[in-house]
Amino acid sequence: MYSERMMCPALEKRIMSAAEAASFISSGMTLGMSGFSTGAPKAIPLEIVKPGNVRDLTVIQGAGLGLLDELALSGAVSRYCAFQWSRNMRSAINAGKVAFSDIHLGQLADKIRGGTFGKIDYAIIECARINEDGGIVPSISLGVSNVLLECADKVLLEINKAVPAEIEGMHDVYKNDLRPLDGVLERKGEPVFRCDLNKIAGIVITDEEEPKLSFRDTNEVYQDIAKQVLSLLDSEIREKRLPQEFTLQAGVGGVANAVLQGLSEGGYKGLNMFTEVLADGALGFIGSGVISEASTTALDLSPKGLKTFFGNIDFYKEHIVLRPLEVSNGVSQITAMGLVAMNTALEADIYGNINSTNAIGMKMLNGIGGSNDFCRSAKLSIFITPSTAKNGAISSIVPMVSHVDSTEHDVDIIATEYGYADLRGKSPKERAAEIIENCAHPYYRQPLRDYYSGAVALCGPCQTPHDLSKALSWHQRFIETGSMKQD
């Protein structure tokens, strides 16, 4: 039974139960876990945080999903990094129960190597198989697993039989050498992790499904934003600023899917993706030839998407390569790819600064993720957002953002369902007009014009007009009244 998945004789005696593996962990340790949403260990962590076992753990993971809910609820984790997509972890972070340093995902590997989190006591890594020579076949995400295996004192492995061993060959594992890739599918490394076998303290065999991912359905607003993005892309191609077969980075979700759908309907073929996460939608577009090559660090698939993927794994191997996060989000690779980067803003201000993380400047949502890795180095950087939130009570275009994750220097385009603002080469005063007139919801345009003209009248000669007594007053009004509306 095990021999099909654990083929390395030298490691046979390290097979154990999840509870035995968990017993190595003690309070105060720093644990690195595989997983970029998917591909996280599923058995050992839950044993570790069982009541009374341990406390004060530091957990490092590329991007945490389902598992984080359990870890946060256990109270055993006091520090976490990096991206999180978990209601309970978010609550624990905002409550101050878990200390959270929000970093650029593209830099996580180097920060681990550079000692930002101190010594990594244990790496806990999900994999699909251990080969005869000790090569470890990764699961359906890579993230920072290669770095954790490199840096951790000891290693615990979970071989998840729910992941077909035929996934071997889809990954390209190597330490980022910063040299730009020649193409989206170029391979420089090995299909497996290598790790000093003496560090492997335990191997647990599991057969566990991924937590159920579901993505928001598309809606009219998303489709209207997508239309704006498509009109921009058409114009860029017409003006020869972008090749017909360009390379796209896009987050997961409704707008990205609607853009891909639009490209598909517009007859686009042979596009490339160089991105952080591929979701269900992208699989379909690979199948139909809209996307021909895709590079990612993770497959964020719903149960249905996973079934499609696992059922056609040889086909997808020809079109998808899974890379370490330090490569998928590496600034030299992103620069070399000449990417169109499309990321979601929580809010944007009239001068082009972007808040991606802190609602009303204070409450952490998920973290910055790779959004600034991509937008800072892309050839064309687009931020998208519906023009309002909470049924119009919040304007996504504000006088001044309440927190800045990507600065006015990083952003080329802001698009909402009403239009897009092209900020390239423009001064702040020129940007304000573009953003207010093209992007803001019609209801909020006059208040934004009033803010801007009031600021101009008040501030004297200056590059970036503001009335600092009112710059954050829209947010303050929302806190006090539940709406940014003035009446």
> Considering beta carbons, is residue 91 or 302 the nearer one to a copy of itself?
91
Amino acid code (one letter) for 132: E
CB of residue 5 to a copy of itself, shortest distance in Å: 36
In the complex, the smallest distance separating the C-beta of residue 404 from a copy of itself, rounded to whole angstroms, is 4
Distance of closest approach, residue 324 Cβ to a copy of itself, in angstroms: 15
Q: How many residues does the chain have?
A: 487
Output 319 or 403, the one with its CB closest to a copy of itself.
403
CB 378 within 8 A of CB 339: yes
Residues that bind a copy of itself (CB under 8 A): 81, 91, 93-96, 99-104, 110-111, 114-117, 177-180, 239, 241, 331-332, 335-336, 353, 358, 360-364, 368, 372, 376-377, 379, 402-410, 424-427, 429-430, 459, 461-466, 468-469, 471-472, 475-476, 479
Task: Tell me how far, at minimum, the Cβ of 291 lies from a copy of itself, in Å.
Answer: 24
Question: What one-letter code names the amino acid at 271?
Answer: L
Reference 299, options 316, 314, 318; nearest CA is 316
Q: Which residues are catalytically annotated?
A: 276
Residue 324 sits at the vertex; the CA angle it makes with 115 and 338, to the nearest 5 degrees, is 110
With contact defined as beta carbons under 8 Å apart, do 379 and 412 qualify?
A: no
Shortest distance (Å) from residue 483 CB to a copy of itself: 15
Kindly report the backbone phi and psi dihedral angles of residue 141, in degrees, each rounded to the nearest multiple of 5, phi listed first. Answer: -145, 160
The closest of 61, 468, 118 to 298, measured between CA atoms, is: 61
DSSP bridge partners of 138: 127
Q: For a copy of itself, give the closer residue by CB, 276 or 410.
A: 410
Give the nearest distance from C-beta 242 to a copy of itself in angstroms. 9
At a CB cut-off of 8 Å and minimum separation 6, what does 326 contact?
Answer: 106, 108, 109, 110, 144, 147, 175, 176
- Beta strand ranges found along 247-327 (DSSP E): 247-250, 271-274, 277-279, 291-296, 298-300, 320-322
Closest CA to 63 of 30, 29, 110, 103: 103
